[in-house]
Copies of this chain bind each other. A is one copy, B any other.
Amino acid sequence: MQLSGLNLVAGKWVGGGQKVFSNNNPTTGEKLSPDFREASDQEVELAALQAAAAFDIYERTTPEQRSIFLRRIAEEINNLGDELIQRAKAETALPEARLIGERARTMGQLTMFADLIQEGSWIEATIDRAIPDRKPLPKADLRRMSVPLGPVVVFSASNFPLAFSVAGGDTASALAAGCPVIVKAHRGHPGTSELVARAVQKAVDACGMPAGLFSMLQGTGQMGLQLVRHPVIKAVGFTGSLRGGRALFDAASARPEPIPVYAEMGSINPVFILPGALQTKASAIAETLMQSVTLGVGQFCTNPGLVFGLRGNAFSDFANKANELAHKFSGTMLTQDICKRYRESVEKAASVHGVQSSGKPSSSAQAADAAAVVLQADAETFLKQQELHEEIFGPATLLVNCGSPAELETIARSLPGQLTATVHGTDEDLAQYKNLIQILQQKAGRLLLNGFPTGVEVCPSMQHGGPYPATTDSRSTSVGTGAIKRFVRPVCFQNFPQSALPPELQNDNPRNIWRIVDGQFTREKC
């Protein structure tokens, strides 16, 4: 299939804009074709207006119709076959096996949301029946459920060219909720984005959905801001840098009508290795740590970038082992720009007074090749130097030795918000360090014991989100079924006759969903 380099605006491939861009193969440094055309202002405007028009139609579709549509998108992605995998590989340097796995995850997310909306309890249908003879005042009939917010802008992630990109988790959850989607494609994988957009377009057509339901635009951050500021847009999903996410949040908050921004902006994911664990399994922990640090060339949001332990021989042995393993690793990063930033970040951290570094972030000046790096510092240095609290995107981690259990707590309290926080400890450790775990609970969206945070399970109990600056909204998750709740708000229907109520709120419970009726969970009619 020939790539067009165009933008998908409400069912049409267009490229009226003057500006083009291209990307390179990060492994070879070669320019990839074709050139891609940035969406023009008019195309952005049209995508927004068509999304608003589509919303009026799409919000009336049944969960069954939306679920057929989501499954069809998954099928059409699968139909892209090896071409999708090869293009993604050429654009991101991610290995084929990983991309095949990621495609499966992407399809899995779409079908998970299809199942979820068919099951139906996620809308939190709540019914309080009338009590006409209540004294002093009668009680009205009140029924509440979630309804979609309206058109959503999704910003693709660099590090998941499929699972958090054009038809990734944000898009799937927004479409499932009943919201049209406009995707701002990531400039690191525009060809992959075009292919997936074609798959979505086919599903839109096949399911008779309104064309404006889905658009995919290529362009810059400026174009992204134009979308976020558009009055018809009602929410934003984003995965990327703190700087990028904050800019979108600020723009959305400054609108005449502010809208929610769900920006997942990464995290340093602290790991605390408690004394008992360090004594008994330092070497094994060092091995799994470095596997986690280097997984996907360190380009996961949950990459463990900070490790704390009590000063002593055991921690030194642990550090030596981690260092030794780091020396064996190198890999190709997603883009040359990302690799360049990785090198700069490592060099900046290594140059902080009191930080030791045993390796270089790159084995060659070529393309996007990166090496793993272990940095070391003591707690005093870490607490003093704010730049050590920032994420290094790539296969690096900073080991920090602390003087006392109290200092571990001080460190924990000093941390900014995180996606995850991890503790390694024996049963005795856990009993002794309860306070530490409580402090970490205030800091993170996910707490792990004796594991590592990479490998984010897609399931109902996943929480992929955390206090700022991990995200702009700690009340939300971008992974798992909970992600759908970002794109809805409750509406209460008072004194509606049965025929005017949505099926979810009718006495007969025709969708057979779990509801709360007069304060009780039930699937019964009422």
Interface of A with B (CB < 8 Å)? Answer: 56, 59-60, 101, 121, 126-128, 136-137, 139-140, 142-144, 147, 149-150, 249-250, 253-254, 257-258, 260, 416-417, 427, 430, 437-438, 441-442, 444-451, 455, 457, 459-463, 465, 467-469, 472-475, 477, 482, 488-497, 499-500, 514, 516, 519, 521
Contacts and interface: CB of A to CB of B under 8 A. Distances in A.
A491 B260 contact: no
Contact of A461 (B121, B142, B457): B142
A448 B497 CA distance: 11
A123 to B, nearest CB: 12
B128 A461 contact: yes
A139 B457 contact: yes
Contacts of A500: 430, 437, 449
Contact of A521 (B446, B473, B514): B514
B492 A455 contact: no
Contact of A475 (B451, B489, B494): B489
Contact of A491 (B416, B444, B493): B444
A475 B260 contact: yes
Given A144-B462, A489-B475, A257 B468 contact: yes
Contact of A445 (B444, B492, B495): B492
Given A253-B250, A449-B495, A494-B451, A127 B475 contact: no
Given A477-B490, A489-B445, A457 B128 contact: yes
Contacts of A447: 491-494, 496
23 contacts: A56-B438, A127-B461, A139-B459, A140-B451, A142-B462, A144-B460, A147-B441, A249-B253, A250-B253, A427-B497, A444-B491, A445-B489, A445-B491, A446-B491, A446-B492, A446-B494, A449-B496, A451-B495, A461-B492, A462-B492, A463-B491, A475-B488, A475-B489
A455 B136 CA distance: 12
Contacts of A60: 438
B516 A492 contact: no
Nearest to A485: B475
Contact of A140 (B139, B253, B457, B473): B457
A447 B430 CA distance: 51
A54 B139 CA distance: 39
Contacts of A258: 249, 253, 468, 472
A140 B452 CA distance: 11
The 7 lowest CB-CB distance pairs between A and B, nearest first, are A463-B492, A253-B253, A144-B461, A126-B461, A446-B492, A448-B494, A474-B489
